Amino acid sequence: MTNENAENRKSVLITGASSGIGEALAIHYAALGYDVGIAARRMDRLKKLQEKLLSDNAGKNIRVLVQGLDVNALTDVAANMTSICEALGRVDIIYVNAGINRIQRVGTGKVHQDFAIVDTNISGAIATVDAAASYFKNQGHGQIVGISSLASFAAVPAQATYCASKAAFSMYLKGARLDLMSDNIDVTIITPGFIATEIADNIHKYPFVVSSEQGAKEIAHIVDKRKKEGIVPGYPWKYIKPFFGLIPTSLWKKLA
C-alpha cells in the first residue's frame, strides 16, 4: 500500500522513535508515503532520522516532524503530544512505544531502577495514551497502538518489574479500548517477543529474535488490519503463547 496523494496522506506519530522498534516503524511508514511524527528524548538521533527519512523518500513529498518528549515528565506529556499532533494535522495512528527495561534480579537493592521502569512503562505510557485519546476524540477517529510485551503474559527471570509493568500496561490498554470504543478510536495491543534493539545488551541470547525491520513490518501489518492484539514475530510465538507460562524456570535462567 502506498500513500502518495498528499491530500489523502495518512500520518503516524511514534514515541520512542530514536532507536529500535520506533525507528524501524518510522522508516517503514515513511517508505509507504505517510507523514511521520517522531518523538523521544534524544533529539540528535531524531534529527538524523528525520534527515534520513526525507532523503530516502525524496519525491514522495512526505513531512517528517520531530518532537522532544520525555514521558517521565508527566505534566509535560499532554502538551508535547498535542503540539506534534497539531503540527501533523490529521493523525491516523499513534504508537505508544517508548519504554525501558533493566535486566536485574529482585533483591539487589537497586530498587530505583525498578521505579524508573514503572515511571516510564506505566505512568509515562498512560500519560501518552491519555494525550493520544484526547486528540483523537476531538478529531473524531484514530488508532492507538500500545507496545506491550510477551513479558506481560508470564514472568521472565531478572525482569520482574518489566513483566509487571507490561502486564499493567496491557490491562490499561484493554480498559482504554472499552472507554474509547464509542469515540471511533481503536486500540491495538502489540506484544513483541524478542526484537534486536538497544533495549537489552543480551537480546541475542533470547529465542526467535528478529531484526527491528522485520518486527516493524509485522507490527504495521497487524495495525493495518486494525486487530485488537498481535504477537510479533508471529511465528513461532502465536503457537507457543498458550504454553509460554509453562517454560521451565531452569531454561529461562540459562537465558537471563
Ligand X SMILES: NC(=O)c1ccc[n+]([C@@H]2O[C@H](COP(=O)([O-])OP(=O)(O)OC[C@H]3O[C@@H](n4cnc5c(N)ncnc54)[C@H](OP(=O)(O)O)[C@@H]3O)[C@@H](O)[C@H]2O)c1
Interface residues with ligand X (CB under 6 A)? 15-22, 40-42, 45, 69-72, 97-101, 120, 124, 147, 149, 192, 194-195, 197-199, 203
Shortest distance (Å) from residue 248 CB to ligand X: 21
Residues designated catalytic: 162
Shortest distance (Å) from residue 214 CB to ligand X: 12
The smaller minimum CB distance to ligand X, of residues 7 and 44, is found at: 44
The smaller minimum CB distance to ligand X, of residues 80 and 143, is found at: 80
CB of 80 within 8 A of CB of 69?
yes
The smaller minimum CB distance to ligand X, of residues 11 and 18, is found at: 18
C-alpha cell at 16: 520512542
| Calpha distance 81→79 (Å, rounded) | 6
Shortest distance (Å) from residue 5 CB to ligand X: 30
Torsion of CA 29, 100, 71, 122, to 10 degrees: 110
The smaller minimum CB distance to ligand X, of residues 88 and 196, is found at: 196
Shortest distance (Å) from residue 150 CB to ligand X: 6
C-alpha cell at 55: 532523503
Phi, psi for residue 130 in degrees, rounded to 5: -60, -45
Short-list 232, 146, 157, 240, CA closest to 195: 232
